[in-house]
Amino acid sequence: MLEWRRRREPSTLMLWLSPLIAIALTMLLGMIVFTAMGYDGCHAVESIFLTPFLEPQRWADIGVKAAPLVMIALGLAIGFRANVWNIGAEGQYIMGAIAGTGVALLTYEMTGWWILPAMVLAGILGGMAWAAIPAFLRVKLQVSEILTSLMLTYVAVQFLYYLVRGPWKDPDGFNFPQTRMFTADQTLPIMLEGSLVHLGIPAALLLAVVAWLTMEKTIAGYAVKVVGLAPAAARHGGFSAGRTTWATLLLSGALAGLAGLFEAAGPFGQLTPQFPVGYGFTAIIVAFLGRLHPLGIVFGGIVLAGTYVGGEIAQSTVRLPQAATGLFQALLLFMLLATDVLVRWRIAFKWRAA
């Protein structure tokens, strides 16, 4: 007989092992589901979870996709720890890209080293401004940030459509709904000759280390944890929940905006209606896979970026539709939430006396 027993203390081993168990279970379940749907389930799972990591020529692509995921997830995780549920990172990501593109279009005929930093600043401020709306509504009026931040994502998408079809449409672009291509001074420097590896990748790694140090070594990081774990104690200790809500939402908005700008000034080089690919939502999974820990998030970002790259591989190897990637990512989040139970409970074997 199997029996669940509550642990006296949460298991530290399981805390870090459960994401790996979740990945293994997702692979197993994915194999079953896709075989049942009539695909080659084994090769689908191999293509999505193994091939991207085993073929070195894919690593650059994984890095390019992991960078925005890690950046966004770092901000979200800090918010989640404080019980602030910003699920509209996708909208802040888009607004960051829009703000940065605004600067790019203004400086279109100029040259200078200062243009890219100005775009980066605009991107950060754009994401922050979009996150400030749910922050204000939550702190001043107790409106749930979950619903407002998500609603604002839909608004941001429409705003992007409006700009690229209307005022920001490339005048020399044969009427395609897209902005001008950015100039050399407006695009991220490439770190590795002949690849897409751009400045965003080292930036994401650096930000992860900074976030880790902030969470572990500063009063601000401590305040976030206390507000999330014990709101009453936090009030008693003089940590304001309102200030924490503001800080975490602005921070996650800033990071999402930065990620959006990097994506626009990096792989895209312009804004198009295809710009939002859902990184803001996938980053939620990254944050959980990384156990809301900055260094764990780097790992989580690499795994999820791998599923994007692997999803493309699986499209050609086993004719798996693109939507399968999203399903794998959702299964992974389900499994993560399910295996979380192992941290607080253990399975005991009990032989029933006959």
Query: Rule CB under 8 A: is residue 166 a binding residue for another protein?
Result: yes
Choice from 159, 183, 205, 240 touching another protein (CB under 8 A): 159
Stretch that binds another protein, among 136-144, 207-215, 243-251, 254-262 (CB under 8 A): 136-144
Q: Which C-beta is closer to another protein: that of 187 or that of 329?
A: 329
Query: Rule CB under 8 A: is residue 284 a binding residue for another protein?
Result: yes
Choice from 154, 209, 217, 319 touching another protein (CB under 8 A): 154
Query: Rule CB under 8 A: is residue 146 a binding residue for another protein?
Result: yes
Query: Rule CB under 8 A: is residue 165 a binding residue for another protein?
Result: yes
Min CB(291)–another protein separation in Å: 12
Min CB(49)–another protein separation in Å: 16
Choice from 6, 8, 350, 352 touching another protein (CB under 8 A): 6
Choice from 15, 35, 105, 161 touching another protein (CB under 8 A): 161
Instruction: Give the total of residues touching another protein (CB under 8 A).
Output: 45
- Is the Cβ–Cβ distance between 124 and 93 less than 8 Å? no
Which residues in 324-343 contact another protein (CB under 8 A)?
A: 324-331, 333-334, 337-338, 340-341
Query: Rule CB under 8 A: is residue 158 a binding residue for another protein?
Result: yes
Query: Rule CB under 8 A: is residue 17 a binding residue for another protein?
Result: no
Q: Which C-beta is closer to another protein: that of 220 or that of 327?
A: 327
Choice from 70, 247, 249, 285 touching another protein (CB under 8 A): 285
Which residues in 63-92 contact another protein (CB under 8 A)?
A: 85, 87
Three-state secondary structure string covering the chain: CEEEEECCCCCHHHHHHHHHHHHHHHHHHHHHHHHHCCCCHHHHHHHHHHHHHHCHHHHHHHHHHHHHHHHHHHHHHHHHHCCCCCCCHHHHHHHHHHHHHHHHHHCCCCCCCCHHHHHHHHHHHHHHHHHHHHHHHHHHHCCCHHHHHHHHHHHHHHHHHHHHHCCCCCCCCCCCCCCCCCCHHHCCCECCCCCCCECHHHHHHHHHHHHHHHHHHCHHHHHHHHHHHCHHHHHHCCCCHHHHHHHHHHHHHHHHHHHHHHHHHHHHCCCCCCCCCCHHHHHHHHHHHCCCCHHHHHHHHHHHHHHHHHHHHHHHHCCCCCHHHHHHHHHHHHHHHHHCHHHHEEEEECCCCC
The residues binding another protein (CB under 8 A) are 6, 37, 85, 87, 133, 137, 141-144, 146-148, 150-152, 154-155, 158-159, 161-162, 165-166, 281, 284-285, 288, 321, 323-331, 333-334, 337-338, 340-341, 344
